[in-house]
Chains A and B, each alone.
Chain A
Amino acid sequence: MKALIIGFGFIGRDLVKAFYEKKDAIRKIDRDFKVIGVSHSKGYLHNDEGLDLQRLQHIKNLEDYGSSYHAGESSLGLIEKSEADLMVEATPTRIKDGEPGLTFIRKALNSGISVVTSNKGPLVVAFHELTRLAEKNGCELLYEGTVAGAIPIFSLVRECLQGDRVLRISGILNGTTNYILSRMYFDEMSFELALKEAQERGISERDSSYDVDGIDAACKVVILANALMNRNVKFEDVEITGIRGITQEALSLAKKSNFAIKLIGTIDSTLEVAPKLVPINHPLCVHGTLNAVHLETDLAKEITLVGYGAGRETVSAVLNDVLTVLRKKKKAA
């Protein structure tokens, strides 16, 4: 199979490394797997014979690859002309309109190219449109990396809970806020200091609002509700309270009564992101940058998954999605 990688940032580059490091495992599923195109905002690399992953994994700018670089050209052109089977989409998240990823994903699916994405934007804006489009064109659309990073929540429900009905989901869906609240809880730091530390350590974006005001967690709530609970909801349907107002006093009072305070996304009759009191022996009470997702279903009753929600670990989810597509396509062929 021929693959494209759209977006050569943190995720795109880590994925190239993973493709190279795991090449033997990948070949076991698909002997002819190759990456034929990689793009960023300023142009793309394209070589139908396959790009050299060893060379690619050592560069940060696509221009430095040497040959095959098309400067100033849009990824859309690459998707159109490439005749790829699979596209990994990892451009920046924009929840207002899902762009530029939304246009790339629509284009790919309409051209019969399966899509793996780590970008929440297109799914928050157009989840059902895109899943229908994938179905109509006989393509896969997988997005494990969009929610709770390396935690295999969608794969788990798809593969292992096929007969269960998901009744309620709650979880810590943002590692940055969990880090800040953990520092405030254990080390009695102020919110401002903990946030500053998170930014200095590269855990939080420079624009911290996305994490701290609950926007990122709310995007994940929307995707979980649409994907796992058959809802048809939008970002505006989530009631959001961030953690800016959480004081040291509140954490001390909680601690005295054996609670922690965590930013929790909840999907039941309503959709909510808000700071909640979590008993210290509750499965969702995990600390640092960890994420956790708690599922309540009709048959299995309760399942909790804990793991890393962002950073390098996310590549595990993206790679697994790619391998899932390879396996399915192989089976179909």
Chain B
Amino acid sequence: MRFDLTLALADRPGQLLKALEPIAKNGGNIISIIHEREKPAEGFVPVSLVVDFPSKWNLRKTIEDLKSLGVAIVKSEEIVELKRLTLIVIGRMGIKRLIESKLENVRITSFEVSAPTTKEACVKLDLEVPTESVDAVMDELKKVSKEENAILISPV
């Protein structure tokens, strides 16, 4: 899991190294680091890190350790990678049914309904889905469209 971690370090030498130690100790893998030394505010320097941890627990341990070292935590947030999916649904499945299905964390960024010249309506949807839940979301959509007798056209 990837996290955005922003710390406020005292503007003294050696602080950064001191702060990195608990991250490594708790299984964190640092992906990027921005140390804004030229922007100290009231004696503190902000450091923004992107860190991969095996789980949330490792992040919690790291934060505890950092706090006990006197490092202030400005922000700690999971970075969710999103995947954009385009889908077309042919059939009478309403948008409502789609939205009401159990699709957690899915954002519909746009949808377009074609003016139907045939009896089957046709909807194009653009979705944003956390990368790790793409398979689950596709399975659920497949299930719903089957129940509604609609054809789901998913990306190749």
Contact = CB atoms under 8 A, between A and B. Distances in A.
A247 B124 contact: no
Contacts, number: 68
Interface string A232-269: 00000000010001111110111011010110100000
B120 A245 contact: yes
Interface centre among A262, A274, A279, A282, by most B CB within 10 Å?
A274
Contact of B153 (A256, A276, A282, A284): A276
A284 B124 contact: no
A277 B151 contact: no
Q: Is the interface of A mostly helix, strand, loop or mixed?
A: mixed
B116 A257 contact: no
A253 B156 contact: no
Contacts of A246: 90, 151, 153
Interface string B8-51: 00000000000000000000000000000000000000000000
B120 A254 contact: no
Contact of B88 (A170, A241, A250, A262): A250
A277 B90 contact: no
B154 A253 contact: no
Contact of B114 (A253, A257, A274, A275): A253
A198 to B, nearest CB: 20
B139 to A, nearest CB: 10
Contacts of A262: 156
Given A245-B120, A277-B88, A252 B154 contact: no
Nearest to A264: B156
Contact of B118 (A249, A259, A261, A275): A249
A259 B122 contact: no
Interface residues of A, number: 25
Interface string B118-156: 101010100000000000000000000000000101111
B72 interface: no
B154 A276 contact: yes
Contacts of A257: 86, 124
A278 interface: yes
Interface string A186-223: 00000000000000000000000000000000000000
B90 A247 contact: yes
A282 B88 contact: no
A254 B126 CA distance: 12
Contact of B156 (A241, A250, A256, A278): A278
Contacts of A253: 88, 112, 114, 122, 124
Given A247-B90, A254-B88, A257-B86, A277 B118 contact: no
Contacts of A245: 90-91, 120, 151
B90 A250 contact: yes
Interface string B70-108: 000000000000000011101100000000000000000
Contacts of A278: 155-156
Given A254-B124, A277-B87, A249 B117 contact: yes
Given A249-B115, A253-B124, A279-B156, 19 more contacts: A170-B156, A245-B120, A246-B90, A248-B118, A249-B116, A249-B120, A250-B114, A253-B122, A254-B88, A254-B124, A259-B86, A262-B156, A274-B154, A276-B155, A277-B86, A277-B87, A277-B155, A278-B156, A284-B156
Interface of B: 86-88, 90-91, 112, 114-118, 120, 122, 124, 151, 153-156
28 contacts: A170-B156, A241-B151, A245-B90, A245-B91, A245-B120, A246-B153, A247-B90, A247-B120, A247-B122, A248-B117, A249-B115, A249-B116, A249-B122, A250-B90, A250-B114, A250-B122, A252-B114, A254-B153, A257-B86, A259-B86, A261-B88, A274-B154, A276-B155, A277-B153, A278-B156, A279-B155, A282-B156, A284-B156
